[in-house]
């Protein structure tokens, strides 16, 4: 059920990344009983450990979770670069599931804080 999604943002932007989880037929997945949502960004696609992580953020349900929506608010402080990410959670059975992964690109902005 892992979906590959490329994310691109400007340095300094903190607009929330929203994921809508769907099953193989396109139906919304009820994630209301899921927990421990995390999105981790790393410079390596297949890191052996977490020592080089650029950042890890906790996610939260956008509504009540029955519509499959979870959001992650990224920090604005990460340096421009090309990275990789994955997003995971513990499902209703307490089993860890990675639901999204892909490239994570941060580009330089013009306006500074």
Give dist(CA 71, CA 15) in Å, integer: 10
Give dist(CA 9, CA 15) in Å, integer: 9
Instruction: Please determine, for residue 70, whether its predicted confidence score (pLDDT) is greater than 70.
Output: yes
- The pLDDT tens digits of the residues spanning 51-69 come to 999 999 999 999 999 999 9
Residue at 113 is within a domain: no
The average pLDDT across 38-43 equals: 99
Radius of gyration of the chain (CA): 14
Instruction: Please determine, for residue 91, whether its predicted confidence score (pLDDT) is greater than 70.
Output: yes
Domains identified in the chain, total number = 1
Q: Do residues 80 and 108 make contact, with C-beta atoms less than 8 angstroms apart?
A: yes
Residue at 94 is within a domain: yes
Instruction: Please determine, for residue 9, whether its predicted confidence score (pLDDT) is greater than 90.
Output: yes
Instruction: Please determine, for residue 113, whether its predicted confidence score (pLDDT) is greater than 90.
Output: no
Residue at 112 is within a domain: no
Residue at 59 is within a domain: yes
Residue at 99 is within a domain: yes
- pLDDT score for 97: 97
Residue at 55 is within a domain: yes
CATH number for the domain that contains residue 59:
2.60.40.10
To the nearest 10°, report the CA torsion of 40, 43, 46, 47: -80
Domain span holding position 75: 3-107
Nearest of 84, 80, 105 to residue 39 by alpha carbon? 84
Q: Residue 51 has what DSSP assignment?
A: T
- The pLDDT tens digits of the residues spanning 10-34 come to 999 999 999 999 999 999 999 999 9
Using alpha carbons, list the distances in angstroms from residue 35 to 76, 81, 94.
25, 30, 8
Q: Do residues 22 and 100 make contact, with C-beta atoms less than 8 angstroms apart?
A: no
Reported as a pLDDT band with limits 50, 70 and 90, residue 1 is low
Residue at 47 is within a domain: yes
């Amino acid at each position: 059920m892992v979906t590959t999604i490329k994310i691109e943002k400007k340095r300094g932007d903190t607009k929330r990344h929203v994921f809508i989880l769907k099953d193989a037929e396109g139906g919304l997945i009820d994630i209301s009983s899921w927990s421990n949502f995390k999105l981790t960004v790393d410079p390596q696609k297949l890191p052996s450990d977490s020592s080089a992580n650029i950042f890890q953020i906790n996610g939260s349900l956008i509504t009540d979770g029955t519509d499959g929506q979870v959001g992650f608010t990224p920090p604005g402080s990460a340096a421009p670069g090309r990275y990789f990410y994955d997003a995971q959670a513990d499902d209703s059975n307490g089993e860890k599931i990675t639901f999204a992964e892909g490239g994570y690109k941060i580009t330089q902005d013009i306006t500074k804080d």
